[in-house]
Amino acid sequence: MVAVSASAPGKIILFGEHAVVYGQPAIAAPLTAVQVTVTAEPGPPGGGLVIHAAALGQTVAAAQVAPDSPLFNALVYPAQLLLEHLRAPMPDLRLTVRSTIPVASGLGSGAALATAIMRALAAALGARLPDDALNPLVYEAEKRHHGTPSGIDNTVIVYARPVYFVRGTAPQTFAVARPFTLFVADSGQSSPTRLTVADVRRLHDADPPRLDALFARIGEIARAARQSIETGDLDSLGPLMNENHALLRELTVSSELLDRLCQVAREAGARGAKLSGGGRGGTIIALVDEADAAPVTAALRQAGAVRVLSTHIEQSP
Ligand code: PMV
């Protein structure tokens, strides 16, 4: 066997995070500017599965990682799920994991890692792994990171295309009438999604009618945004982002820095901006016309963004 590699992109949520956990629609797109790549090479006979996490400078034998450690959840559990699915024994392989996706930043690093690990392992074992089979496996791996994932991260990352997603239903693709560019600014503050999801759950349990109304409005925004994208009405997309951000603030998942990054992006010319993903840290996204790209980037950096990426949502063929 020669070495085989597989990769998976990051993702951004354009509309509907948190409300999606409660059945409302959300829109997400792949972020190909960041990737996880996993290379599988043959290992010594009897050596088992060895995983080298290049970024952490750590090499672990899968059989020896404690099942309650974060390393197990991120690296070993996805491999176990795939081997169970293929009914394959633990192979003698060395996996090398490289990632440019920041962890706990709302960019889907966990789902991308699981996707790339499973793809590389399947390729090394010569097994077919269609996306429709991979997606539920990555969802299982996601559950380990936070108890009640909606399924949006694994779906957009496995299929690597923009999706309109309603929990429990097949992901829908949709037409993009006019291309547009989103800037992605990383606050540099990591914030585990399971904590914000749990806090929103507590808020919901304390006052279901109020929270259900907020979720319903976020759902209406996601539906309206889909229509704007399908008709090329970029003028309405920015204000919808701003309103979605205000509602996420009410869900207590924004932060001073995320609010400031959205504010400076808008002041520098962005059509709209909102936090993206679990919140309290992680990233914001901003809808930016070409002419405003330089001032928006400068403003975001000055306000404290540790990195600014952009992604182009292509027009449908
Ligand atoms: O994984 P993140 O941080 O991009 O956020 C996931 C989006 C949430 O709606 C907050 C949770 C979920 O499972 O959909």
- The number of beta carbons lying within 10 Å of the beta carbon of residue 52 is 17
Q: Can you identify the CATH homologous superfamily of domain 180-313?
A: GHMP kinase, C-terminal domain (3.30.70.890)
**What is the residue extent of each domain of the chain?**
4-165, 180-313
Query: Which one, of 116, 37, 127, 129, lies nearest residue 79 by Cα?
Result: 116
Q: Which of 37-46, 97-106, 265-274 has the lowest mean pLDDT?
A: 97-106
Residue 128 burial (CB count, 10 A): 8
User: Do residues 29 and 180 touch, judged by C-beta distance below 8 A?
Assistant: no
Identify the pLDDT of residue 216. Answer: 98
pLDDT tens-digit map of 18-53 = 999 999 999 999 999 999 999 999 999 999 999 999
Q: Is 317's pLDDT higher than 80?
A: no
Q: How would you label 244-263 residue by residue, b for 16+ Cβ within 10 Å and e otherwise?
A: bbebbbebebbbebbbbbbb
- Rounded Cα–Cα distance for residues 264 and 282 (Å): 17
Domain 4-165 matches domain 180-313 at the CATH topology level: no
Record the tokens describing residue 151, joined without a space. 């399924």
Are residues 122 and 128 in contact, defined by beta-carbon separation less than 8 angstroms?
A: yes
User: What pLDDT, in 10s, does the model give residues 84-98?
Assistant: 999 999 999 999 999
Distance CA 80, CA 95 (A): 13
Q: What is the pTM of this model?
A: 0.89
Q: 229 — phi, psi (to 5°)? A: -70, -40
92 burial level (CB within 10 Å; 0-12, 13-18, 19+):
middle
pLDDT of residue 104: 74
- Residue 191 pLDDT: 87
User: 70 to each of 45, 55, 242, how far by Cα in Å?
Assistant: 28, 15, 35
The CATH number given to 4-165 is 3.30.230.10
Query: Please, which residues have CB within 8 angstroms of residue 29's CB and are 6 or more apart in sequence?
Result: 11, 12, 14, 156, 161, 162, 163, 182, 311, 313
Q: What's the mean per-residue pLDDT of the chain?
A: 94
* Centre of ligand 1 from the C-alpha of residue 153, in Å: 7
Predicted local distance difference test score (pLDDT) of residue 68: 87
Ligand 1 probe mutation, 12, 17, 20, most atoms within 8 A of CB: 17
Interval between CA 13 and ligand 1 midpoint (Å): 8
Question: Band of the pLDDT at 78, cuts 50, 70, 90?
Answer: very high
Nearest atom, ligand 1, residue 16 CA: 9
Place of tokens 């085989």: 4
For a pLDDT cut of 70, what percent of the chain falls above it? 100
Give the active site residues.
Answer: 153
The atom of ligand 1 lying closest to the CA of 149 is 13
